[in-house]
């Protein structure tokens, strides 16, 4: 009685890890370009995952499994992390986090039509309310769209695909094996795209190195592994709601490490997002 379930503890850990990652990216960008941050991050993560694969003698995937792993590597790692690091140059970490974590909306849509998940009707009101809150935090007083704001949608769409594409694989593979293989594939794509981070390593600041090494191990290898384990035990819809709590955690870490305070509309949007999460967690009653 009174003990928090392991799955809840894992969700909290992942939310905090991913919330802090946007701030760590911003710190990494002080010494590296956006693509260098992403490539360096997954160079670290890829080494950890490759060691796991070799030590545990992970089985070679089938052709069908390999196709899905490559798809996850492209959409969920290459495209997602290139987009996040690029837009963090142009927007505050809070804004990127807010937009990124509209991914549950796309996860619900994709899971409904491709995975046969059927979220309860009452949850949609929570998703809409959370989306309104995220919109307030993202756009603030500006009501016009430019190509950068539209381009931000590549983050939640690719983020949603990262989780959606995992689900079929988890029926035939262990979550740990699958995720380490995906990380290695994504790392190879990123390093092939931009390996110039190697020449920046000797001259980059210690803070940037610490931030990127943290990114490669905690929010990437560890949090991805834990979340995939949860995903193997439930449907995508049930795990989409906690992701809405990542932006408020980003606000906290932005204040602690960057001394950035959100505007009033950001605070209001944050409260609406949390209320939306509460609604999505309610059970439908007759």
SS3 readout for 209-269: HHHHHHHHHHHHHHHHHHHHHHHCCCCHHHHHHHHHHHHHHHHHHHHHHHCCCCCHHHHHH
Q: Yes or no: say if 94 and 273 are a contact pair by the CB < 8 Å rule.
A: no
As for how many domains the chain has, the answer is: 1
Banded pLDDT at 228 (limits 50, 70, 90): confident
Of residues 182 and 153, the one with the higher pLDDT is 182
Q: Yes or no: say if 74 and 42 are a contact pair by the CB < 8 Å rule.
A: no
Q: Would you say how long the chain is, in residues?
A: 286
Mean pLDDT is lowest, of 8-17, 21-30, 99-108, 191-200, for 99-108
Q: Which pLDDT value is given to residue 6?
A: 62
Start-to-end CA distance of the chain, whole Å, equals: 29
How far apart are the C-alpha atoms of 166 and 159, rounded to whole Å? 11
Q: Could you tell me if residue 217 is inside a domain?
A: yes
Encoded tokens for 58:
């992970």
How far apart are the C-alpha atoms of 150 and 184, rounded to whole Å? 30
Q: Which pLDDT value is given to residue 286?
A: 42
How far apart are the C-alpha atoms of 95 and 152, rounded to whole Å? 10
DSSP string, 140-183: TT-----HHHHHTTHHHHHHHHHHHTHHHHTTTS-HHHHHHHHH
Q: Could you tell me if residue 229 is inside a domain?
A: yes
Residues 74, 82, 55, 174, CA torsion sign: negative
**Is the pLDDT reported for residue 146 higher than 50?**
yes
Taking residues 1-27, what's their average pLDDT? 81
Q: What is the pLDDT of residues 42-85, one digit of tens each?
A: 999 999 999 999 999 999 999 999 999 999 999 999 999 999 99
How far apart are the C-alpha atoms of 236 and 129, rounded to whole Å? 20
Q: Which pLDDT value is given to residue 129?
A: 79
Banded pLDDT at 38 (limits 50, 70, 90): very high
The structure tokens 């990124």 sit at: 100
Q: What is the pLDDT of residues 168-226, one digit of tens each?
A: 888 888 888 999 999 999 999 999 999 999 999 999 999 999 999 999 999 999 998 88
Q: Which pLDDT value is given to residue 240?
A: 62
How far apart are the C-alpha atoms of 172 and 33, rounded to whole Å? 38
Banded pLDDT at 285 (limits 50, 70, 90): very low
CB count within 10 Å of CB 201 equals 15
Banded pLDDT at 1 (limits 50, 70, 90): very low
**Is the pLDDT reported for residue 238 higher than 70?**
no
C-alpha closest to that of 101 among 29, 39, 221, 15: 15
Q: Yes or no: say if 266 and 140 are a contact pair by the CB < 8 Å rule.
A: yes
Domain span holding position 223: 15-280
Q: Could you tell me if residue 180 is inside a domain?
A: yes
Q: Which pLDDT value is given to residue 2?
A: 47
Taking residues 30-46, what's their average pLDDT? 96
Residues of the chain by 3-state class (helix, strand, coil), percent to 5 = 75, 0, 25
Q: Could you tell me if residue 8 is inside a domain?
A: no
Max Cα-Cα span within the chain: 64
Q: What is the pLDDT of residues 101-145, one digit of tens each?
A: 777 777 777 776 666 555 554 466 777 777 777 667 655 555 455
Burial of 241 (0-12, 13-18, 19+ CB in 10 A): buried
How far apart are the C-alpha atoms of 79 and 81, rounded to whole Å? 6
């Amino acid at each position: 009685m009174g003990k928090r379930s392991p799955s809840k503890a894992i969700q909290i850990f992942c939310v905090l890890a991913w919330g802090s990652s946007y701030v760590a990216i911003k710190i990494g960008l002080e010494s590296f370009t956006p693509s260098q941050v992403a490539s360096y991050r997954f160079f670290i993560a890829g080494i950890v995952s490759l060691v796991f694969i070799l030590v545990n003698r992970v089985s070679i995937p089938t052709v069908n499994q390999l196709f899905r792993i490559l798809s996850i590597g492209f959409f969920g790692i290459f495209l997602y992390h290139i987009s996040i690091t690029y837009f963090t140059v142009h927007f505050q970490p809070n804004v990127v986090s807010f937009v990124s974590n509209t991914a549950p909306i796309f996860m619900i849509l994709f899971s409904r039509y491709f995975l046969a998940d059927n979220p309860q009707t009452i949850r949609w009101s929570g998703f809409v309310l959370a989306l309104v809150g995220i919109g307030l935090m993202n756009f603030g007083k500006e009501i016009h769209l430019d190509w950068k704001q539209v381009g931000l949608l590549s983050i939640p769409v690719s983020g949603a695909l990262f989780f959606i594409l995992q689900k079929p694989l988890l029926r035939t593979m262990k979550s740990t094996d699958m995720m380490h293989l995906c990380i290695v594939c994504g790392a190879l794509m990123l390093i092939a795209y931009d390996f110039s981070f190697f020449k920046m390593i000797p001259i980059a600041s210690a803070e940037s190195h610490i931030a990127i090494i943290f990114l490669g191990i905690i929010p990437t290898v560890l949090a991805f592994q834990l979340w995939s384990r949860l995903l193997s035990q439930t449907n995508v819809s049930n795990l989409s709601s906690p992701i809405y709590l990542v932006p408020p955690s980003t606000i906290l870490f932005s204040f602690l490490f960057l001394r950035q305070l959100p505007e009033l509309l950001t605070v209001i949007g944050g409260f609406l997002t949390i209320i939306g999460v509460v609604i999505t967690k309610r059970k439908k009653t007759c």
